[in-house]
Homo-oligomer: A and B are copies of this chain.
């Protein structure tokens, strides 16, 4: 056996890694978030070889992160657009980016609230329901909810 199947592991991180496939996949998703949709756009942006791109695209479609959508008949043309699942990958990319930037630059990564679909920053503030007081990042921390952490055998 050459490769342990991450898909069969209980851990949701491992399963995610299985679906995300290879590193190229994440960079393709990143470009998709930037609005790229067509084969040659990805090809030029990434400098990936066309056959590799074909494989990665197919894998992402297969994993349900991208959808292959016809936009022209005659000569059939397709574009690759993010599904909801694919869009849910944005936080992963953002944290990956933050790590990279934190270790390139003096600035540390900051807390940010972004639009779930577009990734655009959202100017929002946390408000305590009881007191009506605004909460800062000094006041609170974010932790996964009970629902998520208490899922039987699901360990990170």
Chain A interfacial positions (CB closer than 8 Å to B): 4, 6, 11-17, 19, 23, 26-27, 30, 33-34, 47-48, 85, 88-105, 107-116, 119, 122-130, 135, 137-149, 151, 154-156
Contacts and interface: CB of A to CB of B under 8 A. Distances in A.
A143 B12 contact: no
Given A123-B130, A139-B115, A140-B122, A100 B145 contact: no
Interface secondary structure of A, over-half rule: mixed
A90 B151 CA distance: 20
Given A27-B11, A88-B102, A108 B143 contact: no
A52 B19 CA distance: 22
B95 A116 contact: no
A146 B116 CA distance: 17
Nearest to A138: B116
25 contacts: A11-B100, A13-B96, A17-B96, A88-B109, A90-B141, A92-B92, A101-B148, A105-B151, A108-B146, A109-B144, A109-B146, A110-B147, A111-B145, A111-B147, A113-B140, A114-B140, A115-B139, A119-B141, A123-B129, A124-B128, A124-B135, A126-B126, A137-B147, A143-B154, A156-B156
